[in-house]
Amino acid sequence: MVSFVCGIFGCLCDGAPQVILDGLKRLEYRGYDSVGVAVINNNKIALEKDKGRIDQFIGGLDETRLYGEVGVGHTRWATHGAPCKENAHPHLDCTKTIAVVHNGVLENFLQLREELARKGHHFTSNTDTEVIPHMIEEGMKAGLPLKEAVVQATKSIKGSMACIIIGTSEPNKMICVRRESPLVIGVGPKGAYCASDIPALLPFTKRVLIMQDDTIATLERGRVNLEEIGGGAVEPQFSNVTWDLKMAEKSGYPHFMIKEIYDQPVAIRDTLKVPETFLDRAADLLNDKIYLSGSGTSYHACLSTSYMMSRLLGIDVRPVLSSEFNEAVSDLQGSTVVAVSQSGETADTLSAVKYAKGKGAKILGITNTLGSSITVLSNAYICTQSGPEIGVAATKTFLTQLTALDLLTLRVGLKKGRISEGDYRSMSQQMNRLPRLIEETLGRCEKVKELALKYSTRRNAFFLARGINVATAMEGALKLKEISYIHAEGYPAGESKHGPISLVERDFLCVFIAPRDATRGRVIGNIMEMKARGAEIFSIITEGDEELKEVSNEFFEVPEAPDLLYPMLCTVPLQVFAYHVANFRGLDPDKPRNLAKSVTVL
Ligand code: M6R
C-alpha cells in the first residue's frame, strides 16, 4: 500500500508562517523528508516548499514572500512519490486559489486523477493528495462554497485523510476534515489552530478538541463550527490538556530519546494511578481465551505479558504480531484481543483489531493516546500515562505498557480468584516500588555510556535471555538496531545451539539479560557456551551477583527486586546503551533513517 506518515498544521493568527513553522518542528517526528507552507496574502496563495528537514527549509526561506494570518504547513514521510519539491505539500488546484495539506492514503486516487485529467486538470506531483484541491476546484466551479465543495470531494474519496484546507474565496477560514488519520483543533486567546497531534498546539493553547472520524470543522478566529461529513451539527467538546509545553520539549536534554528515558519514573508513577474502575472494566473483558497483539516494541510488551499471565493466572495467552494476526488466528469467537499500541494508530494493529472484531472478539486497547483510533474501536481501554513521546524509538511508552499490563494481570487474578487478596496486596506494593527502582537504575547508567563507547564499532550483537526476559532481550536488540544501525538479534538463549551459534567467533558481542530469577542457572550455561567460542559477554545482572560478574567481560547491576519488576529494570540500561551507541556513531537517535513514529501503513 502507498502512503504517507506526515504532520500537518494550520492556523488563523497573526504571524501565521512563523507559527506554522514552529508547529511543524514539533511534528517533525512524524516525517522529515520534505516540508512546505502556504499562506493567504493579498488574496493570493503564497507557497514555499522543498525537500529536506525543517531547519534546512527555514534556512533557505525567502521570508518576504511569506506573511499573512491564515496558513497551512506539512512535514512529510514519503513511501510513494520520491521526497522532492514537487511532491512536498501543500498542493494547489489549477487556479492556485486552494491549498491542501493531507495525512493519510487515498485508495482511489488513480481513478479520481484520471477523471480529473479528462476534465482538463493539470497535475504537478506523483502524490495521491493532489487530487483533493482539484476536486474542490471542480465543486467550486459548479457554484459550491469552499466547505460544501470539500464535503462533496470527501464523499468521493476512499481512504484515510486528515486534511486542512484554505482558499482565497473565504480568506478568513480554515476547513479541517478527519477520517481515520488523527486531527486536533485548538483555540487560544490569539487564534485558532489545527494539527496532527496535541504537542504541536501546546505553545498556543491547552484548550483542544480531538476530531472524531468523518467530521468536518470550519475554523474562524474565535469560532469553531463542527459537523458530520454526512450532515448534522456536532457540539464541539473542548477539554483542557494537562501536559505542559515543557513536557513536550527536551527539557535541556540533547535528544528526546534520552529525555524520555529519564521521564520513565514519572511516567510509571502516573500510570500506576490508573483508576481501579478502569482496570475492572478491562479485567471484566478478559476470559480464558486471550490474544495479545501489537507491533515492534508494543509486541514485546505483549510477549512479556504472555509469560506474566501464564505464571500468575495459569492462563496460556497467545501473543501475535499484529502484521501476522489475520493470517495466524481464525478462532476468535468468545475471545478477547488485547491490542497494544502507544500511538493507537498503527495500521497493522488497527487491521488486526478490525479483523478480530469482525470475527466476534472483544477488544481491550492499551494505548498512550486518548482519542486515537484504538480507543474508538475498543470495548474498553487503558490509557498509559507517558505524556507525549517524540523520539521515534519507543522507550517510556514501553515501560508504561508493561506497568499497565502488570496491573491488569494482577486485577484479573484477584477477580478470578487466581491470586489471593494477600498476594494481590503484596504484589501491588511491589509495583509501587518501581519508580524508585527505575530512578536508582538510571542513577547507575554512567557506566553504560562507557560500555557504549567500547562497543560502538561492533557490527553485530546477540541479545539473549530465558523466560520473560526473552521479550526484554528482543526489545534491547530492536533499540540498538533501529537507532545505531548495528545488526542485532534478540532471541531465547536456549536457541543458540539450534543455529545462531555458528555466527559466533572471537569478540562477537553477546548481551545477556541475567537477573537473579528462576532462569539464572540455565542462562549461565548459555553464557559459557558463547564464551567457549570467544564471544564478548556483557551481562545485565542483579547487584552483587559475583558468579555472573566472574563469567562476564562486562556487566551492569540492576537493583535487587521482585521477579515481576526485572523486565522493566533490565530494559533501562539497554535503552541507554542503544542511545549512547547511536551518539558515538554520529547518528541522530531521535530520527532514525527510514522510520517514522506512527506507522500508519500496512
Ligand atoms: O504506536 P505503536 O506502539 O503501535 O507502534 C508500534 C511500533 O511501530 C513501534 O513500537 C516501533 O517498533 C518503535 N519505533 C520501536 O522503538
The amino acid present at 330, given as its one-letter code, is: S
Q: Indicate the CATH number for domain 250-432.
A: 3.40.50.10490
According to the model, what pLDDT value does residue 162 have?
95
Residue listed under C-alpha cell 501476522: 324
Which of 181, 340, 341 best tests ligand 1's pocket when mutated (most atoms within 8 Å of CB)?
341
**How many CA atoms are closer than 13 Å to the CA of 432, on its beta-carbon side?**
7
**From residue 120, how far is each of 127, 137, 148, 538 by CA, in Å?**
18, 12, 22, 65
Expressed in angstroms and rounded, the spacing between residue 592 Cα and the centre of ligand 1 is: 13
Distance, in Å, from the CA atom of 299 to the CA atom of 398, rounded to the nearest integer, reads 10
Q: Which residue puts its alpha carbon closest to atom 4 of ligand 1? A: 341
Q: Which residue puts its alpha carbon closest to atom 6 of ligand 1? A: 295
CB 334 within 8 A of CB 360: yes
DSSP letter for each residue of 382-437: EE-------SSS--HHHHHHHHHHHHHHHHHHHHTTSS-HHHHHHHHHHHHTHHHH
User: Known catalytic residue: 6?
Assistant: yes
| Ligand 1 atom index nearest CA of 395 | 16
What residues flank ligand 1, with Cβ below 6 Å? 295-298, 341-343, 346, 349, 392-394, 478, 482, 599
According to the model, what pLDDT value does residue 294 have?
98
42-67 exposure pattern, b = at least 16 Cβ within 10 A, e = fewer: eeebbbbbbbbbbeebeeeeeeeebe
Other CB atoms within 10 A of residue 493 CB = 28
Which of 30, 298, 378 best tests ligand 1's pocket when mutated (most atoms within 8 Å of CB)?
298
CB 73 within 8 A of CB 23: yes
User: 7-246 with 250-432: one CATH topology?
Assistant: no
Output phi, psi for 362, to 5 deg: -90, 150
Q: Which residues of the chain have pLDDT under 50?
A: 1-4
User: Known catalytic residue: 531?
Assistant: no
According to the model, what pLDDT value does residue 29 have?
75
Q: Which residue puts its alpha carbon closest to atom 9 of ligand 1? A: 296
- pLDDT tens by residue, 517-572: 999 999 999 999 999 999 999 999 999 999 999 999 999 999 999 999 999 999 99
Compute CA 67 distance to the chain's CA centroid, rounded to the nearest angstrom.
33
Sign of the dihedral defined by the CA atoms of residues 284, 600, 53, 583, in that order: positive
- pLDDT tens by residue, 322-354: 999 999 999 999 999 999 999 999 999 999 999
Compute CA 363 distance to the chain's CA centroid, rounded to the nearest angstrom.
19
Determine the length of the chain: 602
CB 53 within 8 A of CB 32: yes
| Ligand 1 atom index nearest CA of 367 | 3
Active-site choice (49, 173, 362, 597): 597
**Whether CATH 3.40.50.740 fits 7-246:** no
**Whether CATH 3.40.50.10490 fits 443-602:** yes
Distance, in Å, from the CA atom of 167 to the CA atom of 35, rounded to the nearest integer, reads 20
According to the model, what pLDDT value does residue 3 have?
34
| Ligand 1 atom index nearest CA of 296 | 12
Distance, in Å, from the CA atom of 529 to the CA atom of 497, rounded to the nearest integer, reads 9
Query: Domain coordinates of the chain in residue numbers?
Result: 7-246, 250-432, 443-602
Expressed in angstroms and rounded, the spacing between residue 469 Cα and the centre of ligand 1 is: 19
According to the model, what pLDDT value does residue 594 have?
86
